[in-house]
Amino acid sequence: MQYFVAVAEERHFGRAAERLGISQPPLSRAIRQLEVRLGTDLFTRTSRGVELTEPGNVLLRESRAALAAVAAAERRTRRAATDEPVVLVVKAAATGPLVTDLLERHAAEPGAAPVRLEPCAIGEQVRTLRDGRADAAVLHLPYDDLTGLDIVEIGQEPQVVFIGRSHPQSGRDSLTLAEVQELLHDAPTPRWADADGRIPDGPGPIARDHGQLQALVALGQATWLAPASCRAMMRPDIVAIPVPDAEPITTVLAWPAHGTSDAVAHLVATATRTAAALQG
Amino acid sequence: MQYFVAVAEERHFGRAAERLGISQPPLSRAIRQLEVRLGTDLFTRTSRGVELTEPGNVLLRESRAALAAVAAAERRTRRAATDEPVVLVVKAAATGPLVTDLLERHAAEPGAAPVRLEPCAIGEQVRTLRDGRADAAVLHLPYDDLTGLDIVEIGQEPQVVFIGRSHPQSGRDSLTLAEVQELLHDAPTPRWADADGRIPDGPGPIARDHGQLQALVALGQATWLAPASCRAMMRPDIVAIPVPDAEPITTVLAWPAHGTSDAVAHLVATATRTAAALQG
DNA sequence: CCGCCTGATACCCGCCGGGTATCGCGAGAG
DNA sequence: CTCTCGCGATACCCGGCGGGTATCAGGCGG
């Protein structure tokens, strides 16, 4: 299955073999065996590489999910063995008071497992959950894709728009979503590399990290709509203007759905109580 | 991994080996190798069988998920190869006009893949999706567990309570949820075998199929709160009484989240349009 | 104390997955 | 048109791993 994914991604038996650390003929044979077993061709062989067939495309998607599940099994078992702490991934950019509060309450619990915080790249969090590198994650709705995860809501916060201090609108004490759309027309939201390292098409400058994003915003080249707690980590020459009619951002604690360890269950229970306490 | 799951489930090397169709020593060795590879014991061996360790429990959960993913990959690829129709599972009991309408619209689409309807046992639908036996399913919220699935809402319907025609309340033209609770006290909801074939504990008579459920309701031994469309398949000596303050049941089309085939995407698109048309 | 049932160990064998060498073929250059 | 180059396929060999049988070791019950 790894072999198949490698060939599908490289679209080339030779390169795939090199990547896998084996030689090309066994790889050819392995793929052929897989095709026989499944009763269908997975690639159309041409004289200059290979292309995926439709069943091949199906298998590629499914294989990626299956391999992630297998890797997760191994990683989680390893970690369960060494009673390492629960790994909680957070967006480096979005560590608001919600998370610190949750961690404090959790630490105060009797018998609570230690929690190791793990910052990670934007958009990478869900993947770390799926392949077992992490046990739980703090995500923000509606940005993240929650399929395969259970969640508990731990907070909501309004959105603000970040613009440079010298921006003509920087004196406003609130903006409507329509007005934000206007701003975005002149200075679009920066584009990030996504989980695959690819930059999506579209307008907007390209930012590689959070510092670049802030620089763009400060220079009036970009506008950024984000949860209000992001205010805490923005440079002083950027102002945050509330956008009351923007959908509030929901912060959730997420974990893989198919059952969890006691340690994660404990963390989740704490999160549930924390959320209840904050609401009440 | 299959080996590990077998031993974990049987809690006995000999029986597990028999189930796997191999002999006991290679199984012992395979498990030992796995333990070495993961760097932790997975079982505590006693003189009368084995018990799972804590890492073993983790691996059992993860392995089940991973094996389901692998099985799904194989099945879906096979079906993609033979351009078999999309398989859509439905609760045998709940094939209301929503589904027939969806299917009619889909069939009218140019180039739409054929759809094969597959009835299945209550509670079994989500499992058929996860292990690749089906491509899509009609589910009802909030009954089904949606983790790992993408959904599109295709309709909502109010709930009704089903009671026998001779029931003292059968003349009412609506009941409150509180009144239904009263009814349930005397004649609880029947219990079904769940996906594992286990009957949950609790009050209420046991029903093996839909006919038995109806018999129990007709005899005044059971009360059944269900979506209004179920009315269509109930015997005439059962009456349906609207329960306006019961949470309406949402019907959704669900499919595995991690990308789908063109055929399923087409069906989903049709469902989305159907839902929009019905709402508009 | 003995017997039985458990999992572990010892040992052998066939086959599958890895290697190297080579072939067949289609595309592109001259 | 042909030669060449680059691709995947094939042929063949080998070692190790996964399977088998026979047997051992230990704990619990009779």
Check residue A185 and give its pLDDT. Answer: 81
Query: CA distances (Å), B173 to each of B158, B160, B176, B221, B239, in order?
Result: 14, 10, 11, 21, 10
Question: Residues of B with CB below 8 A from A82's CB?
Answer: 39-40
A63 vs B73: CB contact, 8 Å cut-off? yes
Which has more confidence, A81 or B245?
Answer: B245
CA A38 – CA B129 distance, rounded (Å):
19
The pLDDT assigned to A93 comes to: 54
Q: Do B132 and A63 touch (CB under 8 A)?
A: no
Among the residue ranges A162-166, B144-148, B270-274, the one predicted with the least confidence is: B144-148
Work out the average pLDDT over A165-189.
84
Which residues are B73's β-sheet partners? none
Which residue, B225, B70, B163, is CA-closest to A68?
A: B70
Residue A28's nearest CA partner among A16, A38, A10, A46 is A16
Question: Domain spanning B2-78: which CATH class is it, in words?
Answer: mainly alpha
Contact between B125 and B139 under an 8 Å Cβ cutoff? The reply is: yes
| pLDDT over 90, % of chain B | 1
Residue nearest to nucleotide D7 (CA to C1'): A47
- Please report the pLDDT score of residue A269 as a whole number: 85
pLDDT at A62 over 80: yes
How does pLDDT run across B140-185, given as a tens digit for each residue?
877 666 766 778 888 788 888 888 887 888 788 888 888 888 878 8
Query: How far is it, in rounded angstroms, from Cα A212 to Cα A138?
Result: 24
Residues 19-78 of A with CB under 7 A from strand D: 24-25, 28-29, 31-32, 45, 47-50
Query: What's the CA gap between A266 and A260, in Å, rounded?
Result: 10
pLDDT tens column, B185-237: 877 787 776 555 566 677 777 776 777 777 778 877 788 888 887 777 777 88
Please give the pLDDT value at position B280: 53
- pLDDT at residue number A124: 76
Please name the residue of chain B whose CA is at the shortest distance from the CA of residue A71: B66
Report the range of poorest mean pLDDT among A154-163, A226-235, B177-186. A226-235
φ, ψ (nearest 5 deg) of residue A266: -65, -45
Q: Residue A95's pLDDT is what? A: 57
Q: What is the mean pLDDT of residues B37-54?
A: 85
Lowest mean pLDDT among A60-74, A233-247, B201-215: B201-215
Two structure tokens written together for A172: 């406003």
pLDDT higher than 80, residue B245: yes
Q: Is there a contact between A249 and A141 (Cβ–Cβ < 8 Å)?
A: yes
Give whichever of A37-46, A208-217, B87-96, B181-190 has the largest mean pLDDT. A37-46
Give the C-alpha separation, A257 to A151, whole Å: 8
- Res B93 pLDDT > 60: no
With distances taken from each CA to the C1' atom of nucleotide C5, the closest residue turns out to be B48
Instruction: Out of B57, B61, B148, name the one closest to residue A147 (CB).
Output: B148
Say how many residues make up chain A: 280
Q: Give per-residue pLDDT as tens, B102-111.
A: 888 888 888 7
Residues 163-182, chain A, CB closer than 7 Å to nucleic strand C: none
Angle at B46 between CA B45 and CA B50, to 5 degrees: 55
CATH 1.10.10.10 fits A2-77, yes or no: yes
Tell me the C-alpha distance between A19 and A191, whole Å: 30
Task: Work out if B12's Cβ lies within 7 angstroms of strand C.
Answer: yes
Q: Assign B260 a pLDDT band (cuts: 50, 70, 90).
A: low
Question: Across the interface, which of A42, A57, A66 has its CB nearest the CB of B70?
Answer: A66
CA B62 vs. chain centroid, Å, equals: 20
Pick the residue with more confidence: A83 or B9?
B9
The minimal CB distance from B58 to the residues A77, A148, A150 is found for A77
What is the DSSP-derived secondary structure letter of residue A166?
Answer: T
Distance CA A234, CA A230 (A): 7
Degrees, nearest 5: CA angle B60-B66-B69 = 145
* Predicted pLDDT at B98: 73
Give, in order, the Cα–Cα distances in Å from A28 to each of A23, A39, A60, B28. 9, 16, 17, 33
Determine if strand C comes within 7 Å of the CB of A33. Answer: yes
Query: Dihedral of CA B106/B112/B114/B117: which sign?
Result: negative
Q: Is residue B7 pLDDT above 70, yes or no?
A: yes
Q: What is the mean pLDDT of residues B244-256?
A: 84
Q: Do A148 and B147 touch (CB under 8 A)?
A: yes
pLDDT digit string, tens, across residues A3-56: 999 898 888 888 889 888 888 888 988 898 888 888 888 898 887 778 888 888
Residue A280: count other Cβ atoms within 10 Å of its Cβ: 5
Query: What chain A residue is nearest to B62 in terms of C-alpha separation?
Result: A73
Enumerate the nucleotides of strand C whose atoms come under 7 Å of any protein CB. Answer: 5-11, 17-22, 24-27
Q: What pLDDT was estimated at residue B84?
A: 67
Cβ–Cβ of B80/A54 closer than 8 Å?
yes
Q: How many Cβ atoms sit within 10 Å of the Cβ of residue B181?
A: 12
The neighbour count for residue B131, using CB atoms within 10 Å, is 18
For residues B141 and A184, give the distance between their C-alpha atoms in angstroms, rounded to a whole number: 38
| B47 backbone dihedrals φ, ψ, rounded to 5° | -80, -5
Output the DSSP codes for B122-188. TTTHHHHHHTTS-SEEEEEETTS--TTEEEEEEEEE-EEEEEETTSGGGG-S---HHHHHHHHHHSP
Type and span of the H or E element at B47:
none
Give contacts of B64 with chain A, Cβ < 8 Å. 258
Q: What is the pLDDT of residues A88-144, one digit of tens each?
A: 777 755 556 777 788 888 888 887 778 887 777 666 778 888 888 888 888 887 767
Of B104, B153, B108, B132, the closest CA to residue B268 belongs to B153
Per domain, the residue ranges of chain A are 2-77, 83-158+249-279, 159-242
What CATH class has A159-242?
A: alpha beta
> What contacts B176, CB < 8 A, 6 or more positions away?
B243, B244, B245
Query: Which chain A residues are within 8 Å of B82, Cβ to Cβ?
Result: 39-40
Q: Which CATH number fits domain A83-158+249-279: 3.30.420.40, 3.30.10.20, 3.40.190.10, 3.20.20.70?
A: 3.40.190.10
